[in-house]
A = this chain, B = another copy of it.
Amino acid sequence: MLISMTSTPPAPTNDTRDRILDAAERLFVENGFDGTSMRMITGAANANLAAINYHFGGKDALVQEVFRRRLAALNARRLDELDRLEAEAAGAPLKPSRIVEAFFGTALELAADTEHGGRTFMRLLARTYNEPNAFVRQFLAEEYAEVMDRFLGALFRALPEVPRAEILWRFHFMIGAMAFAIAGLGGLSELMEVGPQDEDPARLLPRLMSFLLGGLRAPLPDSGLQG
């Protein structure tokens, strides 16, 4: 597929393609991957059933593309933020709170965007963290490898006195807290059907950040090593 170099608009913007991606994103959040059929997707997208195989090659490839088009941008922003912090610090160790903000703030910002589907996508992403679907997890692991490396490294340097295993676990806990909070953003977790929830993610950010930093700074548990 050669594209003329002369004057073609840079984004051919296949209408059907995007409608399918948007519909899939939304339906995946509501019904899961296996619970969403291609007929549901193409139906919601006002497209023909065969369009998915034509544009993406198959259902699995569509799932990957749903993640790829947004996750790449999110993780690039995360790395940019970290680059900026490290440049400002000029070699000095970073404040842990800044590192945490760079990672989770960007995610919550995206989750706050209800106009362009950022919220929907973040709900899907959060939901997928706990999804066993083999090849999706594989895909996520690859997509996250660099970001994890960079942020964990930064935390290790920022907290040299804390055992690395401890930092690893706490980063793990933080991701879980965020994922659960975001996953429940639309129709907040039926687990606690307590009164009218305030769902404004603008207020969620400071709330979550206080909690995460409190957890990160908590006193270390007794090492458990016979003493």
Chain A: residues with CB nearer than 8 A to chain B? Answer: 29-32, 34-35, 126-127, 129-133, 137-138, 140-141, 144-145, 148, 152, 165-166, 168-181, 183-184, 189-194, 197-198, 202-204, 206-222, 224
Contact = CB atoms under 8 A, between A and B. Distances in A.
Contacts of A169: 181, 204, 207-208, 211
Contacts of A126: 130
- Most-contacted residue by chain B among A130, A174, A208 (CB, 10 A): A130
A215 B211 contact: yes
How many copies the complex holds: the figure is: 2
Nearest to A147: B191
B180 A175 contact: yes
A203 B127 CA distance: 27
Given A176-B181, A224-B206, A191 B129 contact: yes
Nearest to A202: B224
Contacts of A194: 148, 152, 168
